[in-house]
Amino acid sequence: MSDSILVPVDFSDVTEAVLAEAAAAAKAHGAKVWLIHVAAPEPSFVGYEVGPVFIREDVAEQLRQQHQKLQQYQQLLREQSVETTAMLVPGDPARKIPEEAARLQPRMIVLGSHGHGALHQLLAGSVCQAVLKQRLCPVLVVPAPAKK
């Protein structure tokens, strides 16, 4: 196990809390943070406008925005004196996050939970559940903010 922490982010409401927990854990353990965002793979159909040019432009713009946001999070952690490397990778988060964890061998994984109900979990599954099933290292699950 290395002195690193894998931190998957999805830019949801729980991301700021995940980053705060990851920063605290990294400082406590003197660990590096691997910040990762798993981008959706290129769709074969987008809206009513199909065609390689439209799809490439749309996907490229989404990836630019995601990359920019990830870089902002990386900078935020670095400003807190946390060594951080950000990665934007394509794929399915439920598969890609455990793959990256197996590759990087982190001390722990810090990720957020959206707090969806049991029906959603049954139908859509959960990235959290997929990561927990792998049993690669300890996992800190940060709950979504309470809905008002």
The confidence score (pLDDT) of residue 21 equals 95
- Yes or no: domain 9-143 corresponds to CATH 3.40.50.620: yes
Higher pLDDT, 19 or 95: 19
> Could you give the percent of the chain with pLDDT greater than 70?
78
Helices (H), ranges, the chain: 15-29, 52-79, 93-104, 118-124, 127-134
User: pLDDT category, 126, cuts 50, 70, 90?
Assistant: confident
The confidence score (pLDDT) of residue 124 equals 40
User: pLDDT category, 127, cuts 50, 70, 90?
Assistant: confident
26 burial via Cβ count (<10 Å: 0-12, 13-18, 19+): buried
Other CB atoms within 10 Å distance of the CB of residue 70: 19
Could you give the 3-state DSSP secondary structure of residue 85?
A: strand
The confidence score (pLDDT) of residue 140 equals 87
65 φ, ψ to 5°?
Answer: -65, -45
The confidence score (pLDDT) of residue 44 equals 54
What residues does each domain of the chain span?
Answer: 9-143
